[in-house]
Chain A
Amino acid sequence: MNAEARPVVRLAGNSVGALAAMKGVFVRDMKVAFRQRQDLLNPLLFFVMVVTLFPLGVSPEVSFLREAGAGILWVAALLSVLLSLDHLFRHDFDDGTLEQLVLQPQPLFLLILAKTLVHWMLTGLPLVILTPVLGVMMHLDGNSIGILCLTLLIGTPVLSLIGAIGAALTLGLRSAGVLLSLLIIPLYIPVLIFGTGTVAAAAEGATVGAYLALLGAFLVLALTLAPFAAAAALKISLSNG
């Protein structure tokens, strides 16, 4: 075969920038979420119900609620984030869009970051917004409620980011939900400790700047490391399926 007869093909040009790709993922996930709005309420309802159990199950005494309130709200928020994590990649995995996500000519960790951002905006952020109402019901004072909201605002993205690793690791497994909780809860403990500890410190009149800075450090650490771990885990899980 001579050189002229050989078929020739043009390679594709440059792909779009990573930011545009992240925006694409963000817009798509947001659209999908808002097409089934009723599902967005589930973690919120769960959050409110878990909080309701404590006055009913332990004691409606003002003194108890005031002391335990911040901790109860934090634990309830943690559990409802945990509950919603199972869906982070599952639907995408089932309908094949996850494969196409991984095959985008883009750094996978950035795309995962975009997905996690959507997850946080649709679960963590509404919890933070709902917290003042529940805080009042738990007889927390105004200052404590403010600090509590601030800790949740910094803390819930960390929960989503760490959770993404667990969701990616357990993708496609039997009883993934329970397994996900087993893997992730130990990793949530530091966030919980500092989240509630900050509120406790504020209640004792201490300045909380340093504690908030530490929570911020957790967030930075999670932002830089978790997407890489989740990307690695996602590739492993897809390779298995």
Chain B
Amino acid sequence: MAFDSFSAFIAMEGHGPYVWACYAVFFVLMLLMMIGSVRSRKAIVESCRRGYEFQADKSKVAASPPPSASFARVNVSQD
């Protein structure tokens, strides 16, 4: 141990704020990045699952071909 006491360890002879600020920012950013990466991986798995379930539901209903264009005017009520 390079320090005599815990308080000396925290103070670091006056350099404590600099050292601890660096380490704090380092760990906070690294943790945020790690958690963020894991969460976005989870999110994509979830969205895939929802997509597949939606597809499964839809394929129960008979697959119908997309309707062809009629260019019929849409009636918009004028009141």
A and B touch in the complex (CB under 8 A): no
